[in-house]
Amino acid sequence: MSKGSIIGIALVFSVALNLLVVGAIIGRTVFGANPRSPSHPPLGWVLRNLDEETRRKIRPGLEDQARIVAPLRDEMRAAQLEFYQLVNEKEIDEAALGQSLRRLRKASGEFQSTLHEHMVLILKDLEPEQRRKVSRFLMRHAERRQHRRGPRD
């Protein structure tokens, strides 16, 4: 195998690993411990620290959003599985790996884009103090993730 092929495979594997890590972080952040639970829609974390009246107002939109996002999440997981299967083949098919990563990027992008659009729809209806609470939650969560990862070299 040539040096260029090895570098290409290493690059593909590095990109895939980065996508996996980013997907895991986003999944954990968005879905929490049990993403399939009806009481935890993908953007259910927005409900934390909000009063009960606001929760009742927002919950139907979150449930609608969960139904829309489910097939996008399933496609992203299928693309990840396809990539893992290709990586574990005895012989590496660079073209198939490239196509698989394109599929994974597309699925991940559509999933994230849809979640972000829904987040804007939810946040725009919150009062400024409620948005500050959501923002504080996100900042604390980001700090905890950074603390778990430790300092970067």
pLDDT (tens digit per residue) in 18-65 = 666 667 666 655 555 444 444 445 566 666 667 788 778 878 877 888
Mean pLDDT, rounded, of the chain? 77
Question: Which amino acid makes up residue 25?
Answer: I
Helices and strands (H and E) in the chain: how many: 4, 0
Q: Say what the pLDDT of residue 107 is.
A: 93
Q: What is the pLDDT averaged over residues 68-84?
A: 92
- Nearest 5°: the CA angle 135, 139, 143 is 170
- Domain ranges for the chain: 3-149
Q: Which pLDDT score, from 0 to 100, does residue 31 have?
A: 54
**How many Cβ atoms are within 10 Å of 42's Cβ, its own excluded?**
25
- CATH tag, 3-149: 1.20.120.1490
Q: How far apart are CA 35 and CA 23, in angstroms?
A: 14
Q: pLDDT, tens digit, for every residue of 10-20?
A: 677 677 766 66
